Amino acid sequence: MERTIIHCDMNGFFASVELLERPDLKDVPMAVSGNPESRHGIILAKNELAKKFGVITAETIWSARKKCPDLQLVRPHHDKYKKYSQLINAIYYRFTDMVEPFSIDESWLDVTGSLKLFGSGVQIADQIRETVKKELGLTLSAGVSYNKIFAKMGSEYKKPDATTVISRENFKKILWPLDISEMFFVGSATAEKLKRAAIFTIGDLASSEKAVLQGLLGKQGSMLYDYANGLDESPVARSYEKQKIKSVGNGITFRRNLTTADDIQTALKALSDTVSSRLRTYQLKSFGVKIDIKDPYFKTISRQKQLESATNITDEIYNAAFSLLQSSWTIGKPIRLITVTGINLVDENESEQLSLFTEDQDLREKNTNLDKAMDAIRNKFGGQAITFGGILKNDLGIDLLDENEERED
């Protein structure tokens, strides 16, 4: 039996949630944005009216207001978005237990086993849209297809509040004429590379030689060839299957540029603390650490290193991050943003070779106990109840680091 998969994509999710409590902004262009005083002045989400003015996600407030001088801005409330995301997914679970969240406002549903109960894929998608609209006051677009990739592209094809079917019979007609940048997993850099190779549309991609695409893009080339030809067979995870986390990270645009070693150490300590805390929450350890550094001119570098032992200890992640920065950045050269990420993750209970040096083990145990004690205090009294002394009263804007911005894609 052929699979029936639905991809649900909330329409202007952050902005729509804000409008539930701000109906006065319903008929004017509005956007959810970061705080310009903290240099987080980017658009996180926008409503349809703002979109018509050309306002796009991730552009600066300054740029958005040049396009739309009357743009109304609302600060983000991430706790609300998480709450509504959970409510939306709870509605999906009424129709199937095979629900795979892709982001805070998108999910795949495999409804193959639900067709006899609720009707065709289109009927189920329409029921979901109506239920979400009636119960939560929000709208979504749905794509219905026989694979995940085409279902995702179907949900993007027509917005807002619509259902689009991408079938074996019509996908060439609907998708192949689209610009190559519309292909799922094709970013701007990949699109430019493909266009230089005279691959301008999704149809061009589908009719290319697979070996040529592999030579051009490596494994990604082979994957994109399969996707364009409707050959994706990846499954939708069941609701009770633990999603595999590939990395855990956090980053921040600082209130002012970092220019001294003290600035950098303060920032890296705070970021490493957040990353290690999240790793412990997920019961994971990382075998590698990655840092991303952006200067005031938006030039970005990325560096990573393998660790001798997997860790979720703050001090070890910090030492690795600082070592990477020292070896790849000139102290004194201004830094606008840093991201620290734990990579190559394993279960924290996975066995590992113990150090032959007792003092190393004693230090690890001491640091582990310190981190766990801080976790316990934060769990009881809140995330800001305790931190490292060097982070207190800084002017970098990292006092509420764990509430760092998210944005819609």
Confidence of residue 369 (pLDDT cuts 50, 70, 90): confident
Decide if 100 is catalytic: no
CATH 3.30.70.270-classified regions of the chain = 1-167
CATH 3.30.1490.100-classified regions of the chain = 247-403
The amino acid present at 259, given as its one-letter code, is T
Confidence of residue 394 (pLDDT cuts 50, 70, 90): low
Q: What is the pLDDT of residue 271?
A: 93
DSSP structural state of residue 147: S
Average pLDDT of every residue of the chain = 87
Q: What is the pLDDT of residue 60?
A: 85
DSSP structural state of residue 28: S
Hey, which CATH number is domain 247-403, 3.40.50.720, 3.30.2350.10, 3.40.630.10, 3.30.1490.100?
Answer: 3.30.1490.100
Question: What global pTM score does this model have?
Answer: 0.65
Q: What is the pLDDT of residue 351?
A: 42
**pLDDT of 30 strictly over 70:** yes
DSSP structural state of residue 97: S
Computed from CA positions of residues 33, 35, 37, 39, in that sequence, does the dihedral angle turn out positive or negative?
A: negative
229 CB burial (10 A radius; 0-12, 13-18, 19+): middle
Rounded CA gap, 320 and 343, in Å?
12
The string of pLDDT tens digits covering residues 86-99 is 999 999 999 999 99
Number of Cβ within 10 Å of residue 219's Cβ equals 8
**pLDDT of 129 strictly over 60:** yes
The percentage of the chain sitting over the pLDDT mark of 90, rounded to a whole number, equals 63
Q: For 392, what's the count of Cα atoms within 13 Å in the CB-facing half-sphere? A: 5
Please identify which of the residues 59, 106, 316, 408 carries the catalytic annotation.
106
Cis peptide before 69 (omega within 30 of 0): no
**pLDDT of 146 strictly over 80:** yes
Tell me which range, 69-78, 121-130, 381-390, is most confidently predicted by mean pLDDT.
121-130
Confidence of residue 187 (pLDDT cuts 50, 70, 90): confident
Confidence of residue 363 (pLDDT cuts 50, 70, 90): confident
Strand-pair category, 43-46 with 30-33: antiparallel
339 SS3 class: strand
Confidence of residue 381 (pLDDT cuts 50, 70, 90): low
Contact 337, 251 (CB under 8 A): yes
Q: What is the pLDDT of residue 406?
A: 43
Tell me which residue of 346, 343, 311, 305 sits closest to 327, measured CA to CA: 305
Rounded CA gap, 171 and 150, in Å?
8
178 SS3 class: coil
Rounded CA gap, 249 and 237, in Å?
23
Strand-pair category, 72-74 with 30-33: parallel
CATH 1.10.150.20-classified regions of the chain = 176-228
Q: Which CATH architecture has domain 176-228?
A: Orthogonal Bundle (1.10)
What distances in angstroms separate CA 371 from CA 98, 240, 280, 376, 387, one per listed residue?
Answer: 36, 29, 9, 9, 10
Rounded CA gap, 260 and 265, in Å?
9
Domain 1-167 -> CATH class? alpha beta
**pLDDT of 255 strictly over 90:** no
Confidence of residue 403 (pLDDT cuts 50, 70, 90): very low
Q: What is the pLDDT of residue 293?
A: 95
**pLDDT of 355 strictly over 50:** no
Confidence of residue 407 (pLDDT cuts 50, 70, 90): very low
What distances in angstroms separate CA 68 from CA 25, 42, 57, 142, 226, one per listed residue?
Answer: 15, 14, 14, 29, 40
**pLDDT of 137 strictly over 90:** yes
The string of pLDDT tens digits covering residues 256-274 is 899 999 999 999 999 999 9
Over range 147-172, report the average pLDDT. 97
Q: What is the pLDDT of residue 59?
A: 85
86 CB burial (10 A radius; 0-12, 13-18, 19+): exposed
Q: What is the dihedral of CA 164, 168, 171, 173, to 10 degrees?
A: -110
Range 361-379 burial, b when 16+ CB lie within 10 A, else e: eeebeebbeebeebeeebe
Q: What is the pLDDT of residue 395?
A: 66
Over range 132-136, report the average pLDDT. 97
Tell me which residue of 134, 164, 117 sits closest to 8, measured CA to CA: 164
